[in-house]
A and B are shown apart, each in its own frame.
Chain A
Amino acid sequence: MLCRDVDERIESWLDGELPPEEARRLTAHLEGCAACARAAAWARTVREGLRGLPSHDAPPAVVARIKAAARHRRAGGDVLSGPWRARSRGSLAALLGMAAALAVALGVAFRLAPGALAPPVAVRAERPPG
């Protein structure tokens, strides 16, 4: 294998993608060629350096804002469906149950005290002047 061949194959070799026979010939060349061995070591250093560059978590406040915004939009009336329905069936059922319970409670309250749900302005209108 020539130095030029090593140069062309060095990335594949570092990725472990060279066929075994080619990899064997390449490593044999590296053992006998100081320049190619240095080039291979440098390629490895750069690659490891890239892999050591930092990843970043989004700030917690941003994550919280995203979740809150999604909840807000959901409260606006959209109901999950499609492929996600199965995963959300439990929470959807709970939501519908709460809505039904609220409707029953309001109905009972209205029957027991029909005036209780009237707007405050009506109460003020019944007061005597002065």
Chain B
Amino acid sequence: MEAFDRLVDECQRQVFTYASYLLGRPEDAEDVTQEAFMKLWTHWEELDPDRVPAWLMRVTRNLCFDRLRHVKVVREHVADSGEVALGTAPDPGPSPASTAEGAQLRERLEGALGTLGEPMRSVVLMREVQGFKYREIAEILELPLNTVRVYLHRGRRRIREHLQELAPAGLGA
């Protein structure tokens, strides 16, 4: 029990941050976080302790996609669904960005991140925002290491292209 509690404390930030960026709505991210850890508890006995963090992130990702699919179906059947935001960044709360320019860049970066397809978005999110190592991302997403690197480079490039109008004048992407 202590080991489980400790793991919850260690991994809750990674799980909740990832779910928040993918789902956009904090309440959805809370539900997914809880579901992911409950799945972990259910399979606690079977899992190799060294692989638990990657397993947990993989489960979180699948739960997010399940939820996004569900919301998409609901949106297709409910005309008045404007309140549902998909794949946008959560309300960030207080941020180190103190200048208006910094805040604008942050907002645009979050928007640009949301435009990337999968698994590119997850690669960029895990690497740049969450600080996972390439090897860890490869394990979570079950991708070859070099593929992770390619997705990351392309993802950064697309984000730069997306933010082109914020770039200094006379600049290519």
Question: Is A11's CB under 8 angstroms from B152's CB?
Answer: yes
Which label, helix, strand, loop or mixed, suits the secondary structure of the B interface? Answer: helix
Further pairs besides A52-B96, A62-B30, A69-B38: 12, Cβ < 8 Å: A35-B172, A49-B106, A50-B128, A56-B16, A57-B12, A58-B13, A62-B34, A65-B34, A70-B1, A73-B41, A83-B45, A87-B3
Can you pick out 7 interface pairs between chain A and chain B where the beta carbons lie within 8 Å of each other? A43-B156, A51-B129, A53-B89, A57-B13, A59-B30, A70-B1, A80-B45
Contact A82 B46 (CB under 8 A): yes
Report yes or no: A53 in contact with B109, Cβ–Cβ below 8 A.
yes
Whether A74 is near chain B, meaning CB under 8 Å from some CB there, is yes
What is the number of residues of chain B that contact chain A, defined by CB distance less than 8 Å? 59
Interface residues of A (CB under 8 A from B): 7, 11-12, 35, 38-39, 41-43, 45-47, 49-59, 62-63, 65-67, 69-71, 73-74, 80-84, 87-88, 91
Of B69-77, B80-88, B135-143, B157-165, the segment with at least 4 beta carbons within 8 Å of chain A is B157-165
